[in-house]
Chains A and B, each alone.
Chain A
């Protein structure tokens, strides 16, 4: 027993190293593989409140750019108002609109923390389950797609950014029926790759890429980016397209969360299909 104690004492540094190293590696693996809803991240209440305070001070710096962005968006929205169209209708009918039902609702939120340079990036916003935010909702900004809601606490939510290993947002080439997943390779935060587009189409530089509307997360036609390079890799039958993302993740200040009211209905129906095949 005495010898054992002496042995442990002599190599205490090594033993301590093994203990703490195993502990941290197990934390990494647990966090990576299962994406557990852990309290030790930025959607945690305390950390969220801390970053809200920091953001209250730093948001003034970006105020100018944010204002310009909001004005531009206001102009765009005003152009769509009924009052801005010339009205040559003489008879005014009031019609109870039963054809157009609202499918998407938008909730605005402020970015209180974000990362851009890591391999897997997250964004924290000041809206949470109290405001009806749920895991898996889409997030956009005035310029384009931002990401998907990941963890939610009562007041905050963290977003898995487009700049993440596991983010695969289905996007399509504008004016064509072809679609594929948008993947970020982890190098440049302004460029991502669109895969699985068949190589018979001729792509020009500058062609717009937008969301496909094929998943329940994003409505169709939200801007993702522009084509800067397209090529076939290793004789395959699919194009690899480099896309210049339209969202500037460095300057992100305000975002919108998209609630799809029909999401549950659509998912239930699709799950029903799977069941009937198995039986």
Chain B
């Protein structure tokens, strides 16, 4: 239990640091930058209490906001995907499985399940992030393609870091 807490505590800081120092400067062909930090929300253990899940998602979003002058923007998008995570896991994973497995990652879950799970969360996060940024509902259709392209980029980074760092841990 204690190990899990320390591990997630560290990954919070590492992911925020990577996002605000490194990924902030990345951009290809005028695409938006990838937001790898949502990996933290994706990989939180199954047993995380709901209030803690929302609190952590809100705070990781807020920390990114403080570093990028967009107060509340990332926090709102992160809160939405925290809610979506609860719904998606509630529908697709049996409750006994939720008791046994520790965390939803590539080594414990099937590849297809994890792919759709991370795709759904990433795309929703990006889409709502851009929507709150322009704050104009008529732009929603235009943002769809932009969000999809950037999600592919983020997903690629999520899978690379999954294969590099998380496979060994278990």
Q: Which residues of A contact B (CB under 8 A)?
A: 12-14, 16-17, 19-21, 23-32, 38, 40-42, 44, 47, 54, 115-120, 122, 158, 186, 188-189
- Chain B interface secondary structure, helix, strand, loop or mixed? helix
Kindly list chain A residues whose C-beta atoms are within 8 Å of the C-beta of B70. 118, 120
The verdict on B27 contacting chain A, using a C-beta distance below 8 Å, is yes
Contact B69 A41 (CB under 8 A): yes
**A32-B135, A118-B70 known; A16 vs B54 contact (CB < 8 Å):** yes
**A28-B132, A115-B24 known; A122 vs B69 contact (CB < 8 Å):** yes
Contact B21 A28 (CB under 8 A): no
Kindly list chain A residues whose C-beta atoms are within 8 Å of the C-beta of B86. 13
Kindly list chain B residues whose C-beta atoms are within 8 Å of the C-beta of A12. 50-51
Contact A115 B69 (CB under 8 A): yes
Contact A31 B71 (CB under 8 A): yes
Complex CA gap A2/B133 in Å reads 42
* Proximity bits, B68-106, A CB within 8 Å = 1, else 0: 111111011001101100110000000000000000000
Kindly list chain B residues whose C-beta atoms are within 8 Å of the C-beta of A13. 50, 83, 86-87
Q: Among A23, A31, A42, which residue has its beta carbon within 8 angstroms of that of B67?
A: A42
Can you pick out 29 interface pairs between chain A and chain B where the beta carbons lie within 8 Å of each other?
Answer: A13-B83, A13-B86, A16-B50, A16-B51, A20-B75, A21-B79, A21-B83, A24-B73, A24-B75, A24-B76, A27-B72, A27-B75, A28-B71, A28-B72, A28-B76, A28-B135, A30-B71, A30-B72, A40-B71, A41-B69, A41-B71, A42-B66, A42-B67, A115-B69, A117-B30, A117-B33, A119-B133, A120-B133, A158-B69
Kindly list chain A residues whose C-beta atoms are within 8 Å of the C-beta of B33. 117
Contact B27 A117 (CB under 8 A): yes
Complex CA gap A274/B108 in Å reads 71
Q: Which residues of B contact A (CB under 8 A)?
A: 21, 24, 27, 30, 32-33, 50-51, 54-55, 57-58, 61-62, 65-73, 75-76, 79-80, 82-83, 86-87, 132-135
Closest to A12 in B: B50
Q: Among A24, A30, A44, which residue has its beta carbon within 8 angstroms of that of B66?
A: A44
Q: Among A19, A28, A116, which residue has its beta carbon within 8 angstroms of that of B73?
A: A28
Kindly list chain B residues whose C-beta atoms are within 8 Å of the C-beta of A44. 66
Kindly list chain B residues whose C-beta atoms are within 8 Å of the C-beta of A26. 72
Kindly list chain B residues whose C-beta atoms are within 8 Å of the C-beta of A188. 30
**A47-B66, A122-B69 known; A24 vs B50 contact (CB < 8 Å):** no
Complex CA gap A107/B37 in Å reads 37
Complex CA gap A235/B108 in Å reads 63
Instruction: Looking at the assembled complex, report how far the CB atom of A5 sits from the nearest CB atom of chain B, in whole angstroms.
Output: 15
Closest to A28 in B: B72
Complex CA gap A38/B72 in Å reads 12
Q: Among A23, A28, A42, A116, which residue has its beta carbon within 8 angstroms of that of B58?
A: A23
Complex CA gap A115/B83 in Å reads 29
Complex CA gap A3/B30 in Å reads 54
Closest to B59 in A: A20
Instruction: Looking at the assembled complex, report how far the CB atom of B63 sits from the nearest CB atom of chain A, in whole angstroms.
Output: 10
Instruction: Looking at the assembled complex, report how far the CB atom of B156 sits from the nearest CB atom of chain A, in whole angstroms.
Output: 18
Instruction: Looking at the assembled complex, report how far the CB atom of B81 sits from the nearest CB atom of chain A, in whole angstroms.
Output: 11
